[in-house]
Amino acid sequence: MIVMQAGVTKSEEAYDGAKWSILGQTYTLKQQSDASMAWHAILPPGTFVPPHTHPTQDEFISVFEGRLDLWLNGKEVIANAGDLIRLPMGEPHGIFNKSSATVSSLFWVSPTRALRGLFERIHNVGDPAEVVRIAAEHEVDFLPPPA
């Protein structure tokens, strides 16, 4: 059992030293317990997380800088700096940086489940098909591309 410890994770630090490069984005772990996991994410222009679901987790994104274009259960929406994105478990969603600026944001999920293991497995994996295969083993289900 992982219990959250009181403390401060400094802006330049990674909790437990965990930092990952995933699909061209940089994820820096900020907090982890069985109940939740949070990471700072840098999404350069043109990067994205393809449409997927988390059948066992609620997910949230607080946008610090930039703009995210989202696909939420078939609808396109935009989140700007200062906005909070709520993604209930099982709700299909995709996250895109279609702008010319880098996006800085804080993601978190509740409960943590197998997500850290997924990030560790797909760190620096360059083949999108392999990322999709591994994700399915960690309770994240990518959706087929639209026809």
Instruction: Tell whether the model's pLDDT for residue 140 goes beyond 90.
Output: yes
Residue 142 contacts by C-beta under 8 Å, 6 or more apart in sequence? 50, 51, 52, 131, 132, 135, 136
Which residues are paired to 39 by β-bridges? 29, 107
The pTM of this model reads 0.94
Residue 144: which pLDDT band, with cuts at 50, 70 and 90?
confident
User: What is the predicted pLDDT for the residue at 146?
Assistant: 61
Q: What is the mean pLDDT of the chain?
A: 95
Instruction: Tell whether the model's pLDDT for residue 82 goes beyond 70.
Output: yes
Instruction: Tell whether the model's pLDDT for residue 28 goes beyond 60.
Output: yes
> Model confidence over 86-96: pLDDT tens digits?
999 999 999 99
What residue ranges define each of the domains in the chain, with the CATH number in brackets? 20-142 (2.60.120.10)
Residue 118 contacts by C-beta under 8 Å, 6 or more apart in sequence? 134, 135, 137, 138, 139, 140
Residue 127: which pLDDT band, with cuts at 50, 70 and 90?
confident
Phi/psi zone of residue 116: left (φ > 0), alpha (ψ -120 to 50 degrees), beta? alpha
